[in-house]
Amino acid sequence: MKIQSFGLLSLLSVVSCWTCGSAFVPRSMVMMPKSSTLVDSPSSFALSAAATDIDLPAVRSALGKLVKDKNCGPILIRLAWHDAGTYSKEDESGGPRGVMRLEGEQSEANFGANNGLDIARDLIANIKEELAADMSYADFWALASIVAIEEMGGPKVTFRMGRKDATKVEESVPEGRHPDGDKGSDHLREVFGRMGLTDQDIVILSGAHTVGSCHLDRSGFDGPWTEEPFKFDNAYYVDMINKDWKEAKSNEGNPQFNSDANTMMLISDLALMEDEKFRVYVDKYAEDQDAFFSDFAESYQKLLELGCKDLQEA
């Protein structure tokens, strides 16, 4: 990897973004639109498929068709990621509970990091209503992301049911629990460590950037991370190492790194190359896609189940 500019580390306090098209956006750089899909009816479903009329194969099939027809896999991953990624192991607050569906000024739907996720909720609303009415939103969003990963060629992730939905908007956590792209390794370890996740989990879950793109209207950044943004593979790591990354700015004036292949990386992506403990895993997954798939399936299941108890494999 070559970085052509005044240096990555000098930029680490300049810009903020996580999976802009599939995982977080800067809180200070985006507008926060009112979601068109929020509902104020409480739901506390925590049911197994066997105890309901849910036809999981039919739900999976409908979600898979949607992903193929709409190329919406990356944003479905981001929806589930951001639902789960608020968890704190210290007080067991946050975590996957579908709270973004609830209206209110303090709703997590209004977080800058969740800008644009109303699109994802709109896309899957009919499937939820028609085929998965008895499934909690947290379970449904998790399943949608798992199906998306598989449909884009990624690993099979174990899906277990029983997540309980929030019943009131006051269960939203304070804004600020998602990672900021304008900070380096210490910040990443602080955020992911709050969830009980490891250095390896950080690098693995960042690998979800192998799909999706940044969008100017959501994050202030622009472009896909890889040349095939709807193919789930290990290209994120391969490109990180092998492409020449030139310091640039998006049309919004935010710094990013561009390649000659019209792909981009964020400061938070390339920071994984600067930390020697992270770099070990970047090298591992660039060399071995099977290892990445195996480890991603484990870490992603861990993320989706943060704080959950008594889940049942479906």
How far is it, in rounded angstroms, from Cα 265 to Cα 256? 6
Torsional class of 212: left (φ above 0), alpha (ψ -120 to 50), beta (otherwise)? left
Identify whether 82 is a catalytic site residue. yes
Number of other residues whose CB lies within 10 A of the CB of residue 23: 26
Give the CA count within 13 Å in the CB-facing half-sphere of 264: 24
Taking Cα atoms as reference points, which of 287, 281, 173, 242 lies closest to residue 2?
242
Identify whether 187 is a catalytic site residue. no
* Catalytic member of 18, 81, 141, 225: 225
Is 136 in contact with 308 (CB distance < 8 Å)? no
Is 57 in contact with 213 (CB distance < 8 Å)? no
Q: Which two tokens stand for residue 13?
A: 């306090």
What are the residue ranges of helices labelled H in the chain? Answer: 56-70, 73-84, 117-131, 137-151, 185-194, 199-206, 216-219, 235-242, 267-274, 276-287, 289-304
* Catalytic member of 82, 141, 178, 245: 82
Q: Which two tokens stand for residue 112?
A: 């800058």
Q: Distances in Å between the alpha carbon of 309 and those of 162, 196, 306? A: 8, 15, 9
Is 15 in contact with 255 (CB distance < 8 Å)? yes
* 232: Cβ contacts below 8 Å, ≥ 6 apart: 73, 149, 152, 153, 154, 210, 211
Q: What is the largest CA-CA distance in the chain?
A: 59
Is 249 in contact with 8 (CB distance < 8 Å)? no
Residues annotated catalytic, as ranges: 82, 225
